[in-house]
């Protein structure tokens, strides 16, 4: 197999505010191959978005700082590039869709303007050609009457339509990697179904790789091949989606899967949940970050931080008790309506 | 049959839109809620689902009279809340409380948690300082928070904890009906499960009746006995969840259920992808509001508004084709 298209290697990102250092990302490593869909899931504050924005270097610095690690795209370390070189990649070879379609478009320019701006920033084409391309892009993402809609302002579009415009802008330069940061969280279910369908269809047609960041496992089952589960700025488990669903290994993943409401469950039986809340990342974490909430925790978990190790082919987990020699027995679901803190 | 706690008849709310010509009277209005009828029975949870802009939240605000309806009646415990004298309404409102969606925006950042929870008691002049303080501590324990938290400010809490504070506040006056407007949408899954468990436990302990508004159909499936599906200001289908889920009659309900994300990577799902977007409530389509996007619309749908048809005792729908 050839080199991966994108490789994030031991990435550490920290935010410095005053004398407090918050370690938002603590050693994230993953690879993205061509035409592959990777999902990243985790609770708020687990470092999903910081990882993604670090790839494109969109995080404000200061306060943010990449403390360690490397990001290779086609063999080049993106962190070593000059800002001019980076600009050639950003929006061109790697592009991004953001969560909130209503705040990520500029309200004082027409959508056509914003599309043409992106195209002309990266390609030497005339205004007329750029406009033609913009119209065909709007058509591609399923906006009716694109030749009229191109002269409209973002406020004249609905949420779902705005997200389509965002996708059109992201696709303007035929990117090889598309980073989608919670692309459907702000949308209704019926619109979410439309957008996910569209993304799948476009991927088949254009052959790009997608990094899908979400907290909704339903979206992952729908679209991804591989899944990274993040907790407290670390990847705690990574596997193919099917493996992870059939044989999850990390206790946090178990909790996450158990908290999903499944068909046939009703309010007579309480929902499983993970007691407590994630650790504060502005303190040094000793041992496993999940230890306080883990029902299987033992002495070693407080002392040593487990590393992400491949236990089965293609399935890695960061847990002291999940190795190829030794495995944990999964307990019954935990129920809680209380607050541990 | 269970006792009816709340009865909503022909409820309408039209918001006037200002005329672009200065000093001219407005002629258009947004028909946010356009003729809604439903009952809520004692002790049940009625779920209200629908896309954004379909009038779910406006309806919630109409039920507890935060806004005045254009037409219709809201009958709570056999008394019509509309046209009720202000003082009497204030008394009745103690029994109808609300939990809002955004736990960050719905708590005053300058009040301590204890003051926030005691506020309803102060407003209604119930008890003295000591008994109010006792009540606050009791409520904090009920919602699973430490009673020492009464002296802290909202910003010191996480989203899930804030939502617990909101719930405690809603319970202060021993309500009978609690309207939850997307109470868990802003929370992470693991925290969401905790808050849902809490709401369920409180319902049993205090014999509460819930109106539960949500766009998350999985949460609604878990929480609710009956659901009402709304589209563009009208209820298109109402009944028990099992019945509607197993046997949806309205084409919109079918599309909505088919859009629920998969439960596993192995599930194969037949999707009904709707065309277009929800039309503007300023100019809703004639006849059946859904006909422009409906995959099975016939001629009559364009001209005639469908009536509610009772399919089963527990299931009603408004579609010309459901006959």
Give me the pLDDT at residue B136, please.
94
Residues of chain A with pLDDT > 70, as a percent, come to 95
Give domain limits for chain A: 6-224, 230-263+270-317
Of B164, B255, B260, the CB nearest to A339: B164
Q: Nearest to residue A198, comparing CAs of A225, A160, A157?
A: A160
Q: Which two tokens stand for residue B4?
A: 């009816």
Architecture of domain A6-224: 3-Layer(aba) Sandwich (3.40)
Range of weakest confidence among A131-140, A320-329, B86-95, B153-162: A320-329
Q: Is A160–B52 a contact, with Cβ atoms under 8 angstroms apart? A: no
DSSP state for residue B264 in the 8-state scheme: S
Q: Give the mean pLDDT of A22-42.
A: 90
How do residues B27-59 score in pLDDT, each as one tens digit? Answer: 788 888 988 999 999 999 999 998 877 888 889
Across chain A, what does the average pLDDT equal? 85
Q: Is A266–B222 a contact, with Cβ atoms under 8 angstroms apart? A: yes
Q: Is A267–B189 a contact, with Cβ atoms under 8 angstroms apart? A: no
Across chain B, what does the average pLDDT equal? 88
Q: Nearest to residue A161, comparing CAs of A142, A145, A147, A181?
A: A142
Using CA atoms in the order B275, B280, B281, B285, what is the torsion angle rounded to 10 degrees? Answer: -60
pLDDT for A1 beyond 60: no
Say if residues B291 and B297 touch (Cβ distance below 8 Å).
Answer: yes
Q: Give the mean pLDDT of B175-188.
A: 88
Q: Is B274–A190 a contact, with Cβ atoms under 8 angstroms apart? A: yes
Beta bridge partners of A230: A235
CB of B221 within 8 Å of any CB in chain A?
A: yes
| Cα–Cα distance measured from residue A191 to residue A142, given in angstroms and rounded to the nearest whole number | 13
Which residue of A185, A188, A222, A223 is the best one to mutate when testing the B interface, meaning the one whose CB has the most B CBs within 10 A? A188
Q: Is A74 helix (H, G, I), strand (E, B) or coil?
A: coil
Give me the pLDDT at residue A111, please.
92
Q: How many CA atoms lie within 13 A of B231 on its CB side?
A: 26
The structural domains of chain B, ordered by start, are: 94-211 (3.40.50.300)
Give me the pLDDT at residue B230, please.
92
Q: Which two tokens stand for residue A61?
A: 């610095």
| Cα–Cα distance measured from residue A292 to residue A255, given in angstroms and rounded to the nearest whole number | 13
Q: Dihedral sign for Cα B41, B47, B50, B53, please.
A: positive
| Cα–Cα distance measured from residue B153 to residue B150, given in angstroms and rounded to the nearest whole number | 8
Q: Give the mean pLDDT of A255-283.
A: 80
How do residues B229-288 score in pLDDT, each as one tens digit? Answer: 999 889 999 999 888 888 889 999 999 888 888 888 888 878 888 877 777 778 888 888
Give me the pLDDT at residue A336, please.
56
Of A215, A222, A263, the CB nearest to B261: A222
Q: Nearest to residue A3, comparing CAs of A36, A37, A31, A30?
A: A31
Q: Nearest to residue A287, comparing CAs of A303, A299, A275?
A: A303
Secondary structure element (H or E) that encloses residue A179, with its range: strand A177-181
Distance from CA of B275 to the nearest CA of A (A): 9
Chain A residues with CB inside 8 Å of B266's CB? 242, 245
pLDDT for A331 beyond 80: no
| Cα–Cα distance measured from residue A216 to residue A332, given in angstroms and rounded to the nearest whole number | 23
Give me the pLDDT at residue A338, please.
53
Give me the pLDDT at residue B44, please.
92
Chain B residues with CB inside 8 Å of A158's CB? 277-278
* Residue A114 confidence class, pLDDT cut points 50, 70, 90: very high
Asked whether the ipTM of the predicted complex exceeds the cut of 0.90, the reply is no
Q: Is B278–A158 a contact, with Cβ atoms under 8 angstroms apart? A: yes
What secondary structure does DSSP assign to A7-65, as a single string?
Answer: EEEEEEEEEEETTEEEEEEEEEEEEE-TT-EEEEE--TTSSHHHHHHHHTT-S-TTTEE
């Amino acid at each position: 197999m050839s080199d991966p298209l994108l490789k994030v290697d031991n990435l550490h990102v920290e935010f410095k505010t005053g004398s407090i250092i918050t370690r938002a990302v603590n050693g994230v490593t993953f690879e993205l191959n061509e035409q592959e869909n990777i999902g990243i899931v985790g609770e708020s504050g687990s470092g999903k978005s910081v990882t993604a924005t670090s790839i494109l270097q969109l995080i404000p610095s200061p306060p943010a700082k990449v403390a360690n690690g490397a990001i290779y795209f086609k063999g080049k370390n993106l962190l070593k590039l000059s800002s001019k070189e980076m600009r050639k990649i950003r929006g061109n070879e790697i592009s991004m869709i953001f969560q909130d379609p209503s705040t990520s478009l500029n309200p004082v320019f027409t959508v056509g303007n914003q599309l043409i701006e992106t195209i002309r920033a990266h390609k030497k084409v005339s205004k007329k050609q750029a406009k033609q391309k913009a119209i065909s892009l709007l058509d591609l993402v399923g906006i009716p009457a694109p030749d009229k809609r191109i002269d409209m302002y973002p406020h004249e579009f609905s949420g779902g339509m705005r997200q389509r415009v965002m996708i059109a802008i992201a696709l303007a330069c035929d990117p090889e990697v598309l980073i989608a940061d919670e692309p459907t969280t702000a949308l209704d279910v019926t619109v979410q179904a439309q957008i996910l369908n569209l993304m799948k269809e476009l991927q088949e047609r254009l052959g790009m790789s997608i990094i899908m960041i979400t907290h909704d496992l339903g979206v992952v089952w729908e679209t991804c091949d591989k899944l990274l589960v993040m907790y407290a700025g670390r990847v705690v488990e990574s596997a193919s989606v099917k493996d992870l669903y059939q044989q999850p290994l990390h206790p946090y993943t178990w909790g996450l899967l158990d908290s999903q409401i499944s068909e046939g469950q009703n309010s007579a039986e309480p929902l499983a949940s993970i007691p407590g809340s994630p650790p504060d990342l502005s303190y040094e974490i000793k041992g496993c970050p999940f230890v306080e909430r883990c029902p299987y925790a033992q002495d070693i978990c407080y002392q040593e931080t487990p590393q992400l190790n491949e236990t089965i082919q293609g399935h890695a987990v960061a847990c002291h008790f999940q190795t190829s020699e030794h495995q944990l027995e999964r307990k019954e679901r935990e129920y809680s309506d209380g607050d541990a803190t | 049959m269970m006792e009816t706690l709340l009865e909503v008849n022909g409820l309408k709310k039209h918001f006037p839109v200002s005329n672009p010509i200065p000093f001219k009277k407005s002629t258009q209005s947004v028909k946010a809620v356009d003729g809604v009828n439903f009952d809520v029975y004692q002790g049940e949870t009625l779920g209200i689902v629908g896309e954004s802009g379909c009038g779910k939240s406006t309806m919630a605000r109409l039920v507890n009279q935060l806004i005045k309806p254009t037409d219709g009646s809201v009958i709570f415990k056999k008394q019509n809340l509309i046209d009720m004298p202000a003082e009497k309404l204030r008394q009745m409102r103690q029994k109808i409380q609300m939990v809002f969606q955004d736990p960050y925006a719905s708590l005053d950042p300058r009040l301590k948690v204890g003051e926030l929870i005691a506020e309803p008691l102060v407003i209604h002049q119930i008890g003295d300082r000591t008994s109010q303080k006792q009540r606050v501590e009791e409520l904090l324990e009920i919602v699973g928070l430490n009673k020492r938290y009464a002296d802290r400010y909202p910003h010191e809490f996480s989203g899930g904890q804030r939502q617990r504070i909101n719930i405690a506040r809603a319970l202060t006056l021993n309500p009978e009906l609690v309207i939850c407007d997307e109470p868990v949408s802003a929370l992470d899954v693991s925290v969401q499960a905790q808050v849902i468990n809490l709401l369920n436990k409180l319902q049993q302990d205090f014999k509460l009746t819930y109106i539960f508004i949500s766009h998350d159909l999985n949460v609604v499936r878990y929480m609710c006995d009956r659901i009402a599906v709304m589209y563009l200001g009208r209820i298109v289908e109402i009944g028990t969840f099992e019945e509607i889920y197993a046997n949806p009659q309205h084409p919109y309900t079918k599309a909505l259920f088919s859009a629920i994300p998969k439960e596993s990577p192995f599930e194969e799902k037949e999707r009904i992808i709707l065309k277009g977007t929800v039309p503007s409530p300023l100019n809703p389509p004639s006849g059946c509001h859904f006909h422009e996007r409906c995959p099975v619309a016939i001629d009559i749908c364009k001209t005639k508004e469908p009536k509610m048809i009772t399919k089963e005792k527990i299931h009603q729908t408004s579609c010309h084709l459901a006959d």
